[in-house]
Each structure stands twice: as structure tokens, then as C-alpha cells.
Amino acid sequence: MTGQPVRPHPPAASRTPGPSRAGRSRRRLRLTGVLVASLVVGGALTVPTAWADDAPPTPAELLARCDNGTRKCVFHPDGPPVKVAGPTRKVGDEDYNCTALAQRSGIGWSDTTEESNSLGLSMTVGVGWEGVFSASVTTSFEHSWKHAVTESSTTFVDIRPGHVGWVTRTPDLQRVSGTYELIFKNRFHGHRYWYVPFEVTGPLDTSTMAQRTRPMTGAEQAEHC
């Protein structure tokens, strides 16, 4: 969900017929005079304000204005959080069994899982739109939203002679999709209503651990044994 922000079209009833051909000609003459007058001011090239605002704001620009010039900024979830598995990665150090007997090794580790979103933005505590998102999820589903979870422990791995052992962790995540609705007090880039599609994934307090072993390579035996 990484598309551009969406703004609603004006209702059909609010559209009025365009001016006559003669009126359009007079309007073009007036616009030409304004454009020529605005092109050079003190030797510097300028652009009329109405033209400078033609480019729509980026989703990041819109969300930065949440509770900062908006009359309303609300996140509307499409549905409840969905539990998904995060990426599996190695945690802690590897341990090498250079003895002739099987060994049980305790591998200490610590791992932090942080949230991510479809816009690649950093969600910092205290920023308006981040607070709106957390409050919306908590209120809608009575389920708090965490920005980061750190888990630390010691996992015991049985390692055969001539083998190396390590630990992997797969964090549990929750994913929420929805839309930010922003209503500005004054027109922003020519419009008061803007909508930003948004999807974010955050950590839960649970994870799945696994113990892994494999035979050491010749280089590893030479280095560690």
C-alpha cells in the first residue's frame, strides 16, 4: 500500500458551467499579464503560487501535518491486526565443539524487533501521526501497539563432536492496514481533505526459538580447535 495520497473529487452538484469563449480569451489575456509580471522580480525567476502547488504533497508531508494544521487526523483500520511471522535470524554467537564428546552449550542472546511501515517512515514517540495510529489501534481493538520489543535469554544447544551450534529466533508480528483521513483547517496544496493509505507491522511479545547444528568446516576447525 505505497500509493500516492488520495483526495476526494468535488460533488457533481458543485460544478458550474465554464465561461464563454470570449470570457476565456479575456481571462487568458489577464493570466498572461500576471505571468509575465511574475517571471522576473528583482532579476530572480519566480513561479506563481497557484502553479507551485500543482504537485500533490507526498504521504510523508501529509502525515507530518497530522495535528499540525489539521482540524482532524484519524487513522481508520481496515480490520483487526493480523498475526504474521517475522524474519528468522541467528541470535547470539556460534559455539564450536572441539571435543570427542557431545556437549550442551548455553548460548546467551538478546534481540530487538522494531516496527516497519509501507512508507518507510520512522515512527517516533511524540509525533502526532504516530500517536494517532497507536491510539486508534488500542481504542479499536483494545490491544496495545508496541514500537519495539527486546527479548533476552540463554538457550541450551546439544552439539555433537566436530559440530558448530547456534540459535535462531522468529519473532511474532502484528500487521494493520488502513487509511489516514486528514481534514485541514485551511487548504493544503489546494484541498482540505486528504487520505493516505497506510500499512504497519509491529512486534508482539512472543517468538519461536530453534537450535541449529552442522559439521564444522576445515577452516572452522583450524580456527577454533
Residue 68 confidence (pLDDT): 86
Average pLDDT, the chain: 80
Q: Which residues pair with 86 in a beta bridge?
A: none
Radius of gyration of the chain (CA): 29
Summarised one tens digit per residue, pLDDT across range 36-47 is 222 233 332 333
d(C-alpha 179, C-alpha 184), whole Å:
16
Give residue for cell 528583482: 42
Cα(136)–Cα(222) distance, integer angstroms: 57
Q: How confident is the model at residue 109 (pLDDT cuts 50, 70, 90)?
A: very high
Instruction: Give the mean pLDDT of 54-65.
Output: 87
Mean pLDDT, range 12-24, rounded to an integer: 44
Q: How sure is the predictor about 4, in pLDDT bands with cuts at 50, 70 and 90?
A: low
**Cα 129 to Cα 59: distance, rounded to the nearest angstrom:** 12
Dihedral, 120, 202, 4, 56 alpha carbons, nearest 10: -70
**What is the C-alpha to C-alpha distance for residues 194 and 73, in angstroms, rounded to an integer?**
10
- The pLDDT of residue 143 is 80
Rounded Cα distance between 162 and 169, Å, is: 24
Candidate from 25-29, 123-127, 133-137, 170-174 with smallest mean pLDDT: 25-29
For residues 193 and 184, give the distance between their C-alpha atoms in angstroms, rounded to a whole number: 7
Could you give the CA distance from residue 95 to residue 176 in angstroms, rounded to a whole number? 38
Q: What is the pLDDT of residues 63-101, one digit of tens each?
A: 988 888 899 999 999 999 999 999 999 999 999 999 999
Q: What is the pLDDT of residue 44?
A: 29
CA contacts within 13 A on the Cβ side of 102: 7
